[in-house]
Amino acid sequence: MKKETFEKIYAAVEEEAVKAGASDWELYYSGDGSLSAETFRDELSGFSAGQDGWMILRLKIGRKTGCANSTSATLSEAKKLVALAAENAALCEKEEEVFFAEGGQTYKELPPCTFRMPSAKAVKDAAMEMRRAAYASSDLISDGTSGGAYASLGETFYYSSRGLRLSDRSGSCGAYVYSVLEKDGDKRDAFKVVDGAFKKIDADAAAKEASEKAYARFGATVPPGGNYPIVFEGKQMQQILGTFLPVFFAKEAQQGTSLLAGKEGEKIGAENLTVVDDPFYEGNPMQASFDGEGSPTFTKTVIDRGVLKTLLYNLETAAKAGKTTTGNASRGGSSIGTKVYNFYIVPGAFSREELFKKAEGGIFVTGMKGFHAGANTVSGDFSIESEGFFIKDGKQGEAIKSFTVSGNFFDLLKNIAAIGDTIEDQNPGVSKVRCPDVFLESMPVAGA
């Protein structure tokens, strides 16, 4: 959306909001243009182009606030949103005062967005190149193998009655291969996603990595149950930390659904564990200078050598706790929530080989799924279907599958025995969790 268009819509909202008796209001717009392409067998099977966005209004009448949102960013829709938001405000029973970000604050100046949306042809060509590389990567390649590419350019506006006039713009693109290998009627698959300009992507290297990963999974057996030393691959630790992310949100703590409530300043993790949330993570094209309610963002240490330094706050939860916002407000369709930017475990001193030596006889976990069903974010308990490899003679050994790794997230934080020295290339994004490999001396595994 053009800035002038947004400003016209905002002016219409302002006029209607005043008529409705609102004392405060804010209009948030987030939209993007996107292109994606994918292949099937030897042809380009699908191509998508989207020009979509959300306009979200929040207003305050008396002590009550209400929200309404729409995909349709037009003048007439903006007026309807005011009426809907006013109806919602009338229903709200929240006692706490609701805050709007003040004007006059300092925001980090981001480098201007230099991303240029690639042409449809460039996206299609990139997908076909990934496909070519995938089919050339193994003699065992089979149906279902595909290549793909994507690009998006997003923009965000935040205007409010407090005089804030904020906007961010960022874009990214990338490509992927999906290798499906077949051997003796058995199939194994693996993905590899590479972000960055299409011309810089080494399609053959990506395809080789995916096919090798898929191949390594053939012949997997179910391991005997028992307690094992465990090395979680960074991507799996990322899934674990991502699943339990809400326990770091002040809102959950205040509602009694995070066991980290009241633990700020206390030791909740191992001495070697430091976790940072960084809106300006180096190399990530999707950076943000303001959060979902217009507050400035900044880099913060959440866990410092095992000690919980802060939960993540927005204006409301910060006021409730007598603190200041950490700039972590998210903007959903209906309300203000909490989000992270680049939330990561600071890498430690150990290479993967060194971690394997520590975990001799243990398991290297390279796949976990079913977190939405197998993890309880309230109690911290999890029991997750996994796959991976035995660790033998300090190296990755035979493939194993269909076992569950069980534990408790809060115990896991305390029991991290060593942390890998690298965060592998993981896709950029506005809200991301990133982790290096992590070693624990013993965890229960259910298998055969």
Residues in region 132-161 near other proteins by CB under 8 A: 142-144
Which range of residues in 166-174, 305-313, 354-362, 364-372 is near other proteins by CB under 8 A?
Answer: 364-372
Report the nearest approach of other proteins to the CB of residue 376 (Å).
Answer: 7
160 close to 180: Cβ distance less than 8 angstroms: no
The yes or no reply on residue 407 touching other proteins (CB under 8 A) is: yes
The yes or no reply on residue 320 touching other proteins (CB under 8 A) is: no
Using the minimum distance from each CB to other proteins, give the nearer residue, 88 or 326. 88
**Could you say which of 167, 406, 431, 442 contacts other proteins (CB under 8 A)?**
406
Using the minimum distance from each CB to other proteins, give the nearer residue, 272 or 404. 404
Using the minimum distance from each CB to other proteins, give the nearer residue, 176 or 281. 176
Which range of residues in 168-176, 251-259, 389-397, 410-418 is near other proteins by CB under 8 A?
Answer: 251-259
Report the nearest approach of other proteins to the CB of residue 43 (Å).
Answer: 6
Using the minimum distance from each CB to other proteins, give the nearer residue, 3 or 369. 369
The yes or no reply on residue 24 touching other proteins (CB under 8 A) is: no
**C-alpha–C-alpha distance, residues 403 and 176, integer Å:** 28
Q: What are phi and psi of 63, to 5 degrees?
A: -100, 5
**Could you say which of 8, 79, 80, 320 contacts other proteins (CB under 8 A)?**
80
Helix (H, G, I), strand (E, B) or coil at 335: coil
Using the minimum distance from each CB to other proteins, give the nearer residue, 66 or 327. 66
Number of neighbouring beta carbons within 10 Å of residue 71 = 11
Signed CA dihedral, 154, 65, 71, 149: sign only: positive
**C-alpha–C-alpha distance, residues 293 and 313, integer Å:** 12
Please provide the size of the chain in residues.
448
Q: Tell me how many residues contact other proteins (CB under 8 A).
A: 73
275 close to 301: Cβ distance less than 8 angstroms: yes
The yes or no reply on residue 219 touching other proteins (CB under 8 A) is: no
The yes or no reply on residue 261 touching other proteins (CB under 8 A) is: no
List the interface residues with other proteins, window 274-313 (CB under 8 A). Answer: none
Instruction: Name the DSSP letter for residue 195.
Output: E
Name the one residue in this structure whose structure tokens are 């997750």: 384
Burial (CB count <10 Å: 0-12, 13-18, 19+), residue 188: buried
Q: How many helices (H) and strands (E) does the chain have?
A: 10, 19
Signed CA dihedral, 201, 202, 208, 213: sign only: negative
The yes or no reply on residue 125 touching other proteins (CB under 8 A) is: no
List the interface residues with other proteins, window 169-188 (CB under 8 A). Answer: 180, 187-188
Using the minimum distance from each CB to other proteins, give the nearer residue, 23 or 48. 48
